[in-house]
A and B are shown apart, each in its own frame.
Chain A
């Protein structure tokens, strides 16, 4: 299944708001762009569209993003953009691997085979994924991430079975509950870890962030509709455990105070679907594998890719845009993509694009992201307290928290997550630690009394996503 390598001026990994903005900015100025995504269409998770067979009428775009439709259409039709759907970028390489010099090459896989893509600039716009949160019972069928339930509804047009209970701390849960009810679903409760912003706080936030009015008004509208539909919206409430043997049948919820201490005994709510939405983790493994430095930014989702104000990473021909720089939403991602695109155009053609409007947009997006951060910060370290010894932490290899704690107690020299991985296999399965890395780090940090950023992150190795070995070995090197 050999396919010849191809060369482009710029390779962009991820076709969400950041990747699309970079792609169109660059392609409009002449250079050739290859845009890769694992999904069948451009748009990223936020604007994920149904496949053509399930689409009815025009593109459906979340309210509040006036630029999205034209951007999606441009990426689908631009003569300088070659879009590669259902394509996995599993690693980056150099022409001269011995000294790490020479042109970039990206290893890609699309059924049925692998191929190389050469480029003189790389933009990593790999987005984010739902923050995995381990708690007793979270491996039961019926426990799903908010992004899963929403994308099944939006892009597959299938609705999760009710009754549905949603637990988390992210405003997406309110929007999703509203969407489920609009699609005929049965939602019992939305349990939020913190308080919800008061109308007064929302209004204050509104005046600080012109351009994002529709996002917050759609949130307020959704809350009104949920209350009218009889959905219980509880605050200062977290998930305690999911109940069931073959699948989830109920969830225990408990009230907490500001320090995450229980304020009342847990109560049980019957549900067939338990939706989890405590925030998002930036997808940084491809950037780390490419040698880009990361830094710890807990309020923006954990490990984020270091970059300058032109979106350049610590590897000079590798750029980063959107959520891998810190989870901040579609508006910020779009602005990042525009800036990365402008920088690359200047690099490649010597042409400086007029950037004033981009800067203003970026500044506005940043102030909005700060407001969301302040209203809904992801409770990364507190969440590790949900895990008891029997809770599976590494889903792939079925390693539970008790095993990890025991190995830490028996091996006092182990204080790095990669050592934990070698000792107990947590993080060695096909998800490559994406679903257990944060919890393993939190448990290790807790046991050692160290800050979580001091225990490291799983090393990002090639391939950063599992691809059939036969496909890779058949590629010309």
Chain B
């Protein structure tokens, strides 16, 4: 699975959050979307008939990266900084 690569600045410390039951590392300052992309996640949103979706705009416009974060639905993961212990799941499409 091709994943995004962390570049440019050494990350010395990582926190972890939970995505669909799996622990995902994130450096402080990283968004949930960036950390998931670095973990090789390609399916952020799963539509009924049209397959998986992943971040498209990274500026809060497209809503393809939305997740359920700590019980709040429709949260844009590209605009949300990763925090220790977050519990994150996919949106379930009707």
Which bracket fits the contact residues of A? 35 or more
Interface residues, chain B, CB within 8 Å of chain A?
2-9, 27-31, 34, 37-38, 42-44, 47-64, 66, 72, 74, 78-79, 81
B25 CB to closest chain A CB (Å) equals: 13
Residues in B whose Cβ lies below 8 Å from that of A148:
55-59, 78
> A247 contacts the other chain (Cβ, under 8 Å)?
yes
B66 CB to closest chain A CB (Å) equals: 7
Select B54's contact among A39, A141, A162, A465, beta carbons within 8 Å.
A141
Q: Are A161 and B58 in contact (CB under 8 A)?
A: no
- Tell me if A's interface is mostly helix, strand, loop or mixed: loop
Q: 14 A-B residue contacts at CB 8 Å?
A: A54-B30, A86-B79, A152-B37, A156-B31, A157-B9, A158-B6, A158-B7, A159-B5, A159-B7, A183-B7, A184-B5, A246-B51, A392-B50, A429-B63
Closest to B5 in A: A159
Of the listed stretches A68-76, A293-301, A430-438, name the one at the interface; the rest are far from the partner chain.
A430-438
Contact A54 B9, CB 8 Å, known A139-B50, A161-B2: yes
Of the listed stretches A17-25, A45-53, A223-231, A335-343, name the one at the interface; the rest are far from the partner chain.
A45-53
Select B29's contact among A52, A184, A398, A431, beta carbons within 8 Å.
A52
A323 CB to closest chain B CB (Å) equals: 13
Residues in B whose Cβ lies below 8 Å from that of A160:
4
Q: Are B58 and A51 in contact (CB under 8 A)?
A: no
- Tell me if B's interface is mostly helix, strand, loop or mixed: loop
Closest to B55 in A: A148
Q: Are A184 and B63 in contact (CB under 8 A)?
A: no
> A121 contacts the other chain (Cβ, under 8 Å)?
no
Contact A156 B30, CB 8 Å, known A398-B48, A398-B50: yes
> A388 contacts the other chain (Cβ, under 8 Å)?
no
Give CA–CA (A144, B42) in the complex, Å. Answer: 12
Residues in A whose Cβ lies below 8 Å from that of B64:
395
Give CA–CA (A430, B66) in the complex, Å. Answer: 10
Residues in A whose Cβ lies below 8 Å from that of B3:
161
Q: Are B62 and A38 in contact (CB under 8 A)?
A: no
Residues in A whose Cβ lies below 8 Å from that of B51:
139-140, 245-246
Residues in B whose Cβ lies below 8 Å from that of A463:
none
Closest to A57 in B: B9
0/1 interface trace, chain A 7-51, chain B, CB 8 Å (1 if under): 000000000000000000000000000000011100001000011
Q: Are B59 and A151 in contact (CB under 8 A)?
A: yes
Residues in B whose Cβ lies below 8 Å from that of A158:
4-7, 30, 34, 37-38
Residues in A whose Cβ lies below 8 Å from that of B55:
144, 148
0/1 interface trace, chain A 235-252, chain B, CB 8 Å (1 if under): 000000000011100000
